[in-house]
Amino acid sequence: MNGEVIFFVLFSLGAIIGAVFVLVFRKAVYALLSAVLTFVSMSGLYILLTAEFVAGVQLLIYSGAITILMLFAIMLTKQKTGTTRKRMIRFQWPVIIPIVLLMIIIFYGIHKVTPPRKPVSYGKNNTEQIGELIFTQYMIPFEMISVLLLAALIGAIILAKKENT
């Protein structure tokens, strides 16, 4: 067993355990911290795939988002513990159907992907390659996403402004 396998197991376990604990923890701050565990493990997995740029961006964006979410969690939830036990929903058997369906779809999707014949050399100039692809081949989708984000930003400002007046 080489180190890569050990790290893969560690990171994927971290991602899964973090995701499960987001659902299990009853305190919002705890749930968010386990989401941090998931995100950090995900970026570890990206590094194992030599997608270092994606890993860095993942950490940068999600850690900021997590801090903001944590502020909301602190402001919107009471610090008193042990009162939310009643609210826990019992496991409902019909839920099994969508879960299995989703699993089949994801499994089918992964199964359909055929890896490229010759290995692509990502490795060293990862950032450069991503930049080149975004600004040549995927130019229009990239611009569309930026317009979409801008629209969302303006919408958020308008909604917040309305509340004030």
The answer to whether residue 130 forms part of the interface with other proteins (CB under 8 A) is no
Which residue stretch of 16-24, 57-65, 110-118, 135-143 sits at the interface with other proteins (rule: CB under 8 A)? 57-65
User: What Rg value do the Cα atoms of the chain yield, rounded?
Assistant: 21
Q: Which is nearer to other proteins, 79 or 165 (CB)?
A: 79
d(CA 81, CA 83): 6
Tokens encoding 93? 């058997």
- Total of chain residues touching other proteins, rule CB under 8 A: 32
Integer angstrom CA distances of residue 14 from 10, 36, 62, 88: 6, 10, 16, 24
Which residue stretch of 50-58, 113-121, 138-146, 147-155 sits at the interface with other proteins (rule: CB under 8 A)? 50-58
102, 103, 106, 125: residue in contact with other proteins (rule CB under 8 A): 125
The one-letter amino acid at 12: S
Q: Which is nearer to other proteins, 19 or 69 (CB)?
A: 69
The answer to whether residue 116 forms part of the interface with other proteins (CB under 8 A) is no
d(CA 54, CA 129): 12
Name which of residues 67 to 96 contact other proteins (CB under 8 A): 67-68, 70-71, 74, 79
Q: CB of residue 93 vs other proteins: minimum separation in angstroms?
A: 34
Tokens encoding 73? 């969690």
d(CA 103, CA 163): 42
The answer to whether residue 137 forms part of the interface with other proteins (CB under 8 A) is no
